[in-house]
Each structure stands twice: as C-alpha cells, then as structure tokens.
Amino acid sequence: MMKLIILLFILPLYIFGQSTFVLPKDIETKGYVAAISEYIKALPKNDKNNYDTLFIGKHEDFPDIQLPKTIQTIPIVLLTNQEAEEKFKYRSSFIFINMIGDFDKTLSFFKLIVFKTEKTSEKNYWWPLHNFNTEFNFSINTKVFDKEKSDFEYPYSNKYADNK
C-alpha cells in the first residue's frame, strides 16, 4: 500500500516535470544543414571526389524538414529505406547517411552514420564506413550555430572500413 501511495505522489512529478522545449522547424533545419556541411568539410580531399551525391535517410526519427538541394556544392537527396533500395535498379553503389540530431536550449548534437551500399548479383549490401559526430552551440534568438567540436569514429570492420 505504501508503494502505491509513493507511486501516486511521485508519478505526477515526472509527468509534469518533463521539458516542453520545442525547436522551431527553421532552426532545426539550419542545424541539420550545419551538421551535413561540417561533415563535407571534414572529409579528406580524396574522399570528397567520391561523393557525387549524399543520400540522407528519411527514417522514422528524422524530423519533418526539407533540406536544400545542395550543401557545399554536393547534391543532397532525402530517401526512405525503400527508396534507397529502389536506387539499386540503376546504381550499383552509393553513399547513404542516417542522421540523428538532438537539441536542447543552447546545444545541439548530431551523429551521421555513413554507409556504402553495394549491389551484387546475390543481394544488396549496406556496409557501414564510419560515424561522424558534431556538436554546436546555438542561440534561438540569433539562429547561429557555432561548432563546438566534431570527430570521426571508425568502429566498423568490413571490406570498406578497417577500424582505423
């Protein structure tokens, strides 16, 4: 009985104590564009030539935003996983990026998980290459994102990525 009383007392504190911070779409879009731009800038010169287009995954946690058609002169295309699979009808391989963003009132964090996709006669492969993490300080009032830090992670081992 005592547990029930404590639960009834504490539960409303958790429910009403939740953050109601909602980021305006234009600022959220600007954050995603800044993260993709930082990724492109951070790529080694020889890798940039291999990226004729960046295909960004439109998964269920991706926000309902529109990205510009190009970022840093590289074409950007949003694709669902099904649309990405359909790309194999006329492309044998491409770079596909799943992106996750997290915002609070003054800080944003993005993780880009980068895949090289490859079509063979047996099946389609999704080879993870690396992760790119970037963090920004930002102000809702000025809508300015200032890069705090960024780095690459190489946790994968496959024919395209060797735990560098």
Contact 112, 35 (CB under 8 A): yes
Q: Beta 74-79 vs 93-103: how paired, if at all?
A: unpaired
- Residue 104 is assigned to a structural domain of this protein: yes
Tell me which residue has tokens 């994102």: 145
Domain count, the chain: 1
Which pTM value belongs to this model? 0.81
Taking the C-alpha atoms of residue 63 and residue 30, their distance in angstroms, rounded to an integer, is 12
Nearest to 130 by CA among 151, 155, 106, 105: 155
- Position 7 in a domain: no
Q: What digits encode the pLDDT tens for the residues 66-99?
A: 999 999 999 999 999 889 888 878 888 888 999 9
Coarse DSSP helix, strand, coil percentages of the chain, rounded to the nearest 5 percent: 25, 40, 35
**150 bridge partner residues:** 134
Task: Report yes or no on 122 lying in a domain.
Answer: yes
Asked if residue 9 is part of any domain, the answer here is no
Q: Is residue 8 part of a domain?
A: no
In-domain check, residue 164: no
By residue range, what is the domain housing residue 139? 22-153
- Residue 16 belongs to a domain: no
> Is position 1 within any domain?
no
Q: How confident is the model at residue 54 (pLDDT cuts 50, 70, 90)?
A: very high
pLDDT recorded at residue 2? 44
